[in-house]
């Protein structure tokens, strides 16, 4: 297991800790929650940077990284709904988008190709981090409430736009794959040649 994947797993470990801190009432608990959340978000930037710098980009890392992101954001947003800090319908759209993209990634993997994170999706992640941070701190700094609401609307727009982008990318790659299969030359074997070809391949 390389360092980038270890950081991704660390981000997953931060998820239950973040939820506990958000629901724990006490002095400065909101600051602790924000600190853990930002530390987890920072691992998202760090693992990608290290993977590229060390040439340790793997299929496992490409698949595991967005899962860790989705767990972190979904846990934070659902917790904020329970705390009655944000409307549930917005979170349904955002989290629903995450499940939809995860489903597309699973189908793409089964079809033999990978849907990499898009720039629009990465931007959405950054806006989400800022939005959650601002909303958690609203109780301490009430003047930040309008900013938190505005950022949440931006997240919804980015979520819908990036979902459409992933869907378009999925269909394009799937279409290319289907066309390649159709254009693949068809080999006709006479009776007995198929068995002989299998033996030749085994001998190689």
Q: What's the pLDDT score for residue 34?
A: 95
The pTM assigned to this predicted structure is 0.77
Is the separation of the CB atoms in 101 and 166 below 8 Å?
Answer: yes
pLDDT band at 197 (very low <50, low <70, confident <90, very high): very low
Q: What is the pLDDT of residues 62-91, one digit of tens each?
A: 778 878 888 999 999 999 999 999 999 999
pLDDT digits (tens, 9 = 90+) for 108-159: 777 777 777 677 877 888 899 999 999 999 988 999 999 999 999 999 999 9
Q: Which residues contact 4 (CB under 8 A, 6 or more apart)?
A: 47, 48, 50, 51, 54, 56, 61
Given a contact cutoff of 8 angstroms between Cβ atoms, the answer to whether 137 and 30 are in contact is: yes
Higher pLDDT, 65 or 19: 19
Confidence of residue 192 (pLDDT cuts 50, 70, 90): low
pLDDT of residue 99: 86
What's the pLDDT score for residue 194? 46
Q: How far is CA 84 from CA 25, 44, 88, 135, in A?
A: 15, 27, 9, 11
CA distance 187 to 126: 51
Cα angle for residues 80, 86, 92 (degrees, 5° grid): 85
């Amino acid at each position: 297991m390389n360092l980038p994947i270890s950081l991704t797993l660390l981000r997953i470990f931060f998820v239950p800790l973040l939820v506990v801190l958000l629901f724990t009432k006490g002095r400065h608990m909101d600051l602790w929650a924000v600190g853990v959340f930002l530390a987890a978000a920072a691992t998202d930037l760090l693992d990608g940077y290290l993977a590229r710098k060390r040439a340790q980009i793997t299929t496992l890392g490409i698949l595991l990284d967005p899962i860790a992101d989705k767990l972190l954001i979904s846990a934070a947003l659902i917790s904020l709904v329970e705390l009655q800090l944000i409307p549930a319908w917005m979170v349904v759209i955002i989290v629903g988008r995450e499940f939809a993209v995860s489903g597309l990634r699973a189908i793409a993997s089964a079809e033999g190709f990978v849907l990499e994170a898009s720039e629009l999706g990465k931007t959405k992640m950054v806006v989400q981090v800022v939005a959650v941070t601002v909303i958690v701190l609203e109780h301490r700094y009430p003047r930040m409430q309008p900013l938190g609401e505005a950022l949440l609307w931006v997240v919804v727009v980015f979520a819908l736009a990036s979902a459409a982008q992933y869907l378009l990318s999925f269909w394009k790659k799937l279409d290319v794959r289907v066309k390649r299969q159709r254009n693949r030359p068809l080999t006709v074997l006479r009776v007995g040649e198929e068995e002989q070809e299998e033996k030749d391949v085994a001998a190689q």
